[in-house]
Amino acid sequence: MRTQHTRRAVLGAGIAVAGTGVLAACSGSSGGMDHGSMKHGGSPSAAPGFVTPDGKEVAAAEAGRRPGPVRTVKLTATATPLELGGGRTVRSWAYGDRLPGQEVRVTAGDTLALTLANNLPQPTSLHWHGLALRNDMDGVPGLTQRDIRPGASFDYRFAVPHAGTYWFHPHSGTQQDRGLYAPLIVEDPREPLTYDKEWVVVLDDWVDGVDGSTPDGVLAELSKGMGDASGGHAGHGMPSPSGPVGGSGGSGGSGGPSRMMAGATSPLLGGDAGDVAYPYYLVNGRTPDDPAVFTAKPGDRIRLRLINAGGDTAFRVALGGHELTVTHTDGFPVQHAKTDALLLGMGERYDVLVTAKDGVFPLTALAEGKKQTARALLRTAGGAAPSASVRPRELDGKLLTADRLKADESVALPARKPDRTIRLKLTGGMEKYDWAFDRKPYSPARRHAVRAGERVRVVFSNSTTMWHPLHLHGHTFALANVPDGPRKDTAVILPNGTLTVDFDADNPGLWMIHCHNVYHSEAGMMTVLGYQK
């Protein structure tokens, strides 16, 4: 199998050659970092004065979380066949032999001790999306840990401080766009919500193993650029009669067909909806013609935990015949809000409550701007299920986005004047596929400095013609554009728009900020927030 050398991998190799030891192998059969011999954080000599992921400040912050009972988990990343429904089987990479991977469930205050064994042909890692955890467990090779080499394993161990809906995936190249993802559910020991059942719903766009395609091949094709001087997609605003499609000729870079998207438009996303024409869209690992089914009784109050694990797709989600009551976003409670549909960018999560009606109902996730859908079924009675082509009217009803929510009083960020403002400009386009912040592709040695105890404001300005879901590791921020903005770790910025977020610098270390479109981030739209000593 040919390995696509991403910008992150090439930079990392250069750092290793420079003698920092950042990407040295986890060479034993059991992992964990050799804190005595390994230097962290890319190139410490090039950026002195920053807290390192294994520094005393990180250890002190972890001790302050008062780690509780230990929950032990064993996980294996491996190449495996995956059955997507309708007789479709693909060869991909996954945690075990299922898609999504087996859910990990803990209680807030627990200590999670998870060993990841790497049976893949490439190095890998594991990032805990949304958790404010200790920095040396954040899972970013070349910044907070070493790669986990093939045949090796790594011991992740950290206190889990906050209840909520989270998930985990690699932070190694384009691996997240294979089958390497699973939910992480952190239960609240003082849960204020009352409900009868819980339904974890994971949304995904799927390309790996279909007609020879791989995410590495998709990135290789995209990286050639589209030659559109406007910086947007060729064919922008002109969908084909049958909807968005891949390119009509040429190879996708891995022996498969072209997967470059043309004609995917959405007013909700400011125009251009995505880069990649995926052959399938999934709910809980199943195609819409052979969907996953959740069974309940009429009148049951159900908590849905919605997770967008996609690589390049925003999903508009509705449950046919039902109104949604939004209770949380990105793990943190909000003032309850009713809606017909939700829009989730990659990496975003929402918790909603519904009261189940009598019958069989489609949970439909429209790939926004791409004109295809994923679906699952809620069944509370016998009878035939609606066909895969049925589009619930709720998809076109009242739509809720994060900027319309308000934080619950228990988690609202206290009013305070920012001590520091960091300004980041989103740059790049499809012509050269040169996505970046401030026209500077990712380097682990380039850091935006903060100090512990500060209120930090980050102002993102999007000079590109595309939307981007922006993710901050190790913290939650408040949307400062709106009064009493919700607490989140991932938020959408529209083309030519501005997103302002505030957070308290209370978790020392080196933390990624990046676009959660996996292809944009691998092209270079990543940077580092660094705590100064």
Could you report the per-residue pLDDT of 369-398, keeping only the tens digit for each?
998 999 999 999 999 999 999 999 999 999
Higher pLDDT, 247 or 25: 247
DSSP-derived secondary structure for 423-476: EEEEE--TTTT--EETTB---TT-EEEE-TT-EEEEEEEE-SSB-EEEEETT--
CB 132 within 8 A of CB 475: yes
**Mean pLDDT computed over every residue of the chain:** 88
pLDDT at residue number 234: 37
Residue 274: the pLDDT is 95
For the ranges 165-169, 246-250, 405-409, 491-495, the lowest mean pLDDT is seen at 246-250
37 pLDDT above the threshold of 70: no
Residue 239 pLDDT more than 90? no
CB 167 within 8 A of CB 129: yes
Average pLDDT over every residue of 274-285: 97
Per-residue model confidence as pLDDT tens digits over 303-348: 999 999 999 999 999 999 999 999 999 999 999 999 999 999 999 9
SS3 184: strand
pLDDT tens figures, 250-261:
444 556 899 998
Do residues 222 and 311 make contact, with C-beta atoms less than 8 angstroms apart? Answer: no
User: Comparing 253 with 159, which gets the higher pLDDT?
Assistant: 159
The b-or-e profile of 13-50 (16+ CB within 10 A means b, else e) is eebbeeebebbbebeeeebbbeeeebbbbbbbeebeeb
Helix, strand, coil percent values for the chain (each to nearest 5): 10, 40, 50
The burial of 56, by beta-carbon neighbours within 10 Å (0-12 exposed, 13-18 middle, 19 or more buried), is given as exposed
Band (pLDDT 50/70/90 cuts) for residue 58 is very high
Q: Which tokens belong to 168?
A: 């985990």
- pTM of the model as a whole: 0.90
Query: CA 253 to CA 315: how far, in whole Å?
Result: 27
- pLDDT value at position 255? 62
pLDDT for residue 489 is more than 50 = yes
Which segment of 47-56, 183-192, 410-419, 503-512 scores lowest on mean pLDDT? 47-56
Using the predicted structure, report yes or no on whether residue 9 has a pLDDT greater than 70.
no
Residues 6+ apart with CB under 8 A from 326: 334, 336, 337, 338, 339, 342, 350, 351, 352, 400, 405
Q: Round to whole Å and give the CA distance between 59 and 239.
A: 53
Tell the residue number behind the tokens 């996708």, with chain if given: 252
As a whole number, mean pLDDT of residues 68-82 equals 98
Asked if the model's pLDDT at residue 349 lies above 80, the reply is yes
Percent of the chain exceeding pLDDT 70 equals 86
**Average pLDDT score over residue span 464-484:** 96
- pLDDT, residue 483, reads 87
226 pLDDT band (50/70/90 cuts)?
Answer: confident
Greater confidence (13 vs 352) lies with 352
Q: Say what the pLDDT of residue 411 is.
A: 97
Environment class of residue 460 by beta-carbon count within 10 Å: exposed (0-12), middle (13-18) or buried (19+)?
A: buried
Average pLDDT of span 491-496: 97
Per-residue pLDDT tens digits for 191-201? 999 999 999 99
Tokens 């009803």, located at residue: 397
Q: Region 496-524: what's the mean pLDDT?
A: 98
Least confident of 199-203, 232-236, 402-406, 443-447: 232-236
pLDDT at 47: 60
Alpha helix segments (H runs only) across 101-203: none
Q: Among 423, 447, 442, 424, which Cα is nearest to 533's?
A: 447
Could you tell me how many helices (H) and strands (E) the chain has, helices first?
A: 4, 33
pLDDT value at residue 227:
59
DSSP assignment string, 234-285: TTTT---TT--B--SSSB-SSSSB--B-BS-EEGGGTEE--SB--SEEEETT
| CA–centroid distance for 351 within its chain | 16
